[in-house]
Structure 1
Amino acid sequence: MTNATWFVLIGTLLIMVGLRSPIFQRLRLTPSLVYLAIGVILGPSVIGAFHFNPLEQAHLLEILAEIAVLVSLFIAGMKMPVPFRWREWHAPVRLAFLSMTISVALTAVFGYYVLALPLGAAIVLGAILAPTDPVLATDVQVRHMGDKDPLRFTLTSEAGMNDGTAFPFVMLGMAMLSAPFSFELLGTWMLKDVLWSTLVALVVGLVMGRLLAQLVWKQRFLSGEGPLLDDFLGLGLIGMVYGICLLLDAWGFLAVFAAAISLRQSERKLAGLHSSSKDAEVAPQVPVYPEESTPQHSTRISEGSLLFKESLERLTELVLVLLLGGMLFLDSWSLRAVGLALFLFMVVRPVSVFLGLLGSGTPVRLQMLVGWFGVRGIGSIYYLMFAIVFGLPEELALEFIHITLVVVVLSIIVHGLTVKPMMSRWWT
């Protein structure tokens, strides 16, 4: 395909999505399903108009997926409707940490006993496929800043956290592939990759988000400065937080999500204090948050920058899903890959959610829907490319590419076709 053809194709798809094409609405198709269908038709499975080799282009694909996940995590964090309080967050935290661990373990057991993989490779595969996706799961995510739907909130906050909590298991599996398992290896992993990397990521994200909110509030209200470039501020926060975490060997995905939450909630508190202080002489009142306040009371980096970032998120989704279709061959559909995908959807996800939420008081209906909507997508592609670049042996890399592509494609199809009817039933 020529460059001109690509421009026409992508431009047409963007216009169709922008106009909310009646075809999508009538057929109840998600955009990802449409992008995937076009990518598969143009790719080596059907026409063969283009082919994207993930093994040769692992560095490029890793960067593209990394950017997509970072932007999506920041958007998800900005939309969180409530600050971090255990009462509201206990279910997502259980899912992101406990259910994630169970999911990795169950997938690793399948890989070790059924697929006959080395134990380290089985753990890596479990970590690649365990995290739910913040990029392709837009239909089950929080839609706006005031959206407090419990299902959307739970799925969004889980996806925001477990893209970071999967990292330690990738590192454990890679370490076990390069050295014999020992208690010393396990202890080093626990201290460095679990405790240090997770705690530092949370601290960096929370502190940097709060500092930026205070800086902007002071500049806008105390210095009387004009409009700020909110897009640049948001992107700058993503880059700074992620870069600091890379320097400190902390999990940047988790830090970016935490930074977005911290920024958003700090903005709310500062806007409430500002509104209350100005109106204190009139009558006492509860804090007024940005979505409730007048424009002059707003400190909304979040609201000002989301429009651009959501567009960037959709564009990266389009590009990556088209490339996904261009990576898929007919012989990728092996019994091993399809069997693991079905095991993941029908056993691993429901069981890990049930065990993770056991005793939490979460309604059974909510648990069942959360157990179904474990969408796999760009996050899994990123971890796969990360493992390949990190040094995954080529033989394992080729098999993991086929397995991951099949899992992601089936997830886009199965979850994409069921999301609208099941969400409609949830609201009734």
Structure 2
Amino acid sequence: MSNAVWFVLIGALLIVMGLRSPFVQRLRLTPATVYLAIGIVLGPTVIGAFHFNPLKQAHLLEVLAEVAVLLSLFIAGMKMPVPVSWRHWRVPVRLAFVSMTISVVLTAAFAYYVLDLPLGAAILLGGILAPTDPVLASDVQVRHMGDEDPLRFTLTSEAGMNDGTAFPFIMLGLALLSAPPSFELVGLWVLKDVLWSTAVALTIGVVMGHVLARIVRKQRLLSDQGPLLDDFLGLGLIGLVYGVCLLLEAWGFLAVFAAAIALRQSELQLAGIRAPTENVEREPGDSEPVDEPLRQHSPPVSEGALLFKEPLERLSELVLVLLLGGMLFLNSWSVRAVGLALFLFVVVRPVSVLLGLLGSGAPFRLQMLVGWFGVRGIGSMYYLMFAVVFGLPQELASEFIHITLIVIVLSIVIHGLTVKPMMSRWWS
């Protein structure tokens, strides 16, 4: 398609979604479902007006997905409604670390024994498909500062963390593809990719978020030169944190999420505003509270950064899901891909959640819903492109692309069609 047609298509789509079309509202479709349907119709599956080749455009797709995930993680971190304490964060932390590991193991076992993939490739595929997505799961994410719904908080904070905790398994899978398993390889992986990269990422994120909050507050108190550029401050923090982590070989996704949380919590503390602390304990069906003091005295950088970044996040979702539709062919729908997707949704996600939350005290109803809403999306696309650019053999790369695309498409459709009815029942 020509550039003019693309401008017309995207412009019209933005207007339709911006007006919240009654037709789309009646069908109770998520935005991602609409974008995907249009992409499939225009792509090689139906009309063939355009085709996006992920193998030839791997570098571009990696960067687009990387930016989308970074924006989404920062936004999610800004909206976290509770201070960081084990009592409030025990469930999402266990999901992001324990359930994530179980999910990788179960997916890798299926890939190794059923799909007959090599061990390294099986672990790599498990790492690609295990993390839940912060971009496409907007309907089950925290919606605004002060949103205290326990299900939304759990899913948002889990997605914010597990995009970082999946990276060690990506690196382990890639390492095993080039070298046989050994104690030395596993030991180096644990020290470097698990302990060092995770600890450094969390430290960098927390420190830089807190430092920026202090710098901004001091400048506001000492200077009367007018408002600061909050959007630049937010983007600058993302770039600085992520860049430093890349230089130190730490997990930048985890660091950006931690930086956003630290920035907002530090601003609340410095402004003398107490954040709500009862969200996780609230029962479903209770009226959704509104934190009036927080609404009236929102931290300037946090609020200004959100106003600028949320439209960017929605635009990146539109572009990437349209491109996703343009990557699909009819022969992409193999038994291997569909079988793994169904195994992931019906077995891996519920089992990993239930095992990961054993003894956590989380309500069973919450565990069941969290076990269903394991949305896969742009995060998996990024990890896939990272592996391709890293040097994944072409035969494996082609199969992984087909499998990952089908998993994402089925997740958009299945979770997209069930999210609104199930969320309505959650609040009933």
Give the aligned CA root-mean-square deviation in angstroms.
1.4
- For the 8 Å contact 1:123–1:170, the answer to whether it is kept is yes
Deviations 1:305-357 (A, max 9, x none): 11110000000000000000000011010000000000000000000000000
Matches within 5 A, 1:7-406: 7-272=7-272, 292=293, 299-406=299-406
CA apart distance, 1:225: 3.6
Q: Moved runs in structure 1, 4+ residues, more than 6 A? A: none
Q: Secondary structure of the residue that 1:302 maps to in structure 2?
A: helix
Which moves more between the two structures, 87-96 or 220-229? 220-229
TM-score by length of structure 2 reads: 0.95
Tell me, in whole angstroms, the C-alpha distance in 1 between the residues paired with 2:421 and 2:198: 37
Tell me, in whole angstroms, the C-alpha distance in 1 between the residues paired with 2:336 and 2:327: 18
Instruction: State the number of aligned residues.
Output: 413
Matches within 5 A, 1:408-423: 408-423=408-423
Does 2:4 match 1:4? Answer: yes
Residues 306 and 380 from structure 1, CA distance in 2 versus in 1: closer, same or farther, beyond 3 angstroms? same
- For the 8 Å contact 1:217–1:299, the answer to whether it is kept is no
Tell me, in whole angstroms, the C-alpha distance in 1 between the residues paired with 2:295 and 2:338: 53
Deviations 1:112-140 (A, max 9, x none): 00000000000000000000000000000
For residue 283 of structure 2, what is the aligned residue in structure 1? none
Tell me, in whole angstroms, the C-alpha distance in 1 between the residues paired with 2:263 and 2:273: 15
Which moves more between the two structures, 218-227 or 62-71? 218-227
- For the 8 Å contact 2:123–2:169, the answer to whether it is kept is yes
CA apart distance, 1:222: 2.8
Deviations 1:196-227 (A, max 9, x none): 00000000000000000000000112333410
- For the 8 Å contact 2:75–2:309, the answer to whether it is kept is yes
State the AA in 1 paired with 2:341. Answer: A
CA apart distance, 1:83: 1.4
Tell me, in whole angstroms, the C-alpha distance in 2 between the residues paired with 1:14 and 1:294: 28
- For the 8 Å contact 2:273–2:294, the answer to whether it is kept is no
- For the 8 Å contact 1:271–1:298, the answer to whether it is kept is no
Tell me, in whole angstroms, the C-alpha distance in 2 between the residues paired with 1:271 and 1:16: 40
Tell me, in whole angstroms, the C-alpha distance in 2 between the residues paired with 1:266 and 1:51: 46
State the AA in 1 paired with 2:359. Answer: G
For residue 286 of structure 1, what is the aligned residue in structure 2? none
Tell me, in whole angstroms, the C-alpha distance in 2 between the residues paired with 1:168 and 1:293: 37
- For the 8 Å contact 2:380–2:404, the answer to whether it is kept is yes
Q: Secondary structure of the residue that 1:328 maps to in structure 2?
A: coil
CA apart distance, 1:291: 5.9
Contiguous gaps of at least 5 residues in structure 2: 275-290
Tell me, in whole angstroms, the C-alpha distance in 2 between the residues paired with 1:320 and 1:299: 31
Tell me, in whole angstroms, the C-alpha distance in 1 between the residues paired with 2:24 and 2:145: 25
State the AA in 2 paired with 1:259. Answer: A
Q: Secondary structure of the residue that 1:147 maps to in structure 2?
A: coil
- For the 8 Å contact 2:70–2:256, the answer to whether it is kept is yes
Residues 21 and 194 from structure 1, CA distance in 2 versus in 1: closer, same or farther, beyond 3 angstroms? same
CA apart distance, 1:293: 6.3
Contiguous gaps of at least 5 residues in structure 1: 275-289
Tell me, in whole angstroms, the C-alpha distance in 1 between the residues paired with 2:17 and 2:94: 35
- For the 8 Å contact 1:219–1:225, the answer to whether it is kept is no
Deviations 1:270-310 (A, max 9, x none): 11179xxxxxxxxxxxxxxx961697x66420111111100
CA apart distance, 1:18: 1.1
Tell me, in whole angstroms, the C-alpha distance in 1 between the residues paired with 2:418 and 2:294: 38
- For the 8 Å contact 2:146–2:294, the answer to whether it is kept is no
Tell me, in whole angstroms, the C-alpha distance in 2 between the residues paired with 1:299 and 1:404: 39
Q: Secondary structure of the residue that 1:292 maps to in structure 2?
A: helix
CA apart distance, 1:47: 0.5
For residue 281 of structure 2, what is the aligned residue in structure 1? none
Tell me, in whole angstroms, the C-alpha distance in 1 between the residues paired with 2:294 and 2:180: 59
Q: Secondary structure of the residue that 2:142 maps to in structure 1?
A: coil
Tell me, in whole angstroms, the C-alpha distance in 1 between the residues paired with 2:104 and 2:53: 27
Tell me, in whole angstroms, the C-alpha distance in 2 between the residues paired with 1:299 and 1:416: 33
- For the 8 Å contact 1:216–1:299, the answer to whether it is kept is no
Tell me, in whole angstroms, the C-alpha distance in 2 between the residues paired with 1:76 and 1:382: 18
- For the 8 Å contact 2:58–2:388, the answer to whether it is kept is yes
The sequence identity of aligned pairs, in percent, is: 80
Q: Secondary structure of the residue that 1:48 maps to in structure 2?
A: coil
Tell me, in whole angstroms, the C-alpha distance in 1 between the residues paired with 2:303 and 2:293: 13
Tell me, in whole angstroms, the C-alpha distance in 1 between the residues paired with 2:84 and 2:205: 13
Residues 342 and 293 from structure 1, CA distance in 2 versus in 1: closer, same or farther, beyond 3 angstroms? closer
For residue 285 of structure 1, what is the aligned residue in structure 2? none
CA apart distance, 1:23: 1.4
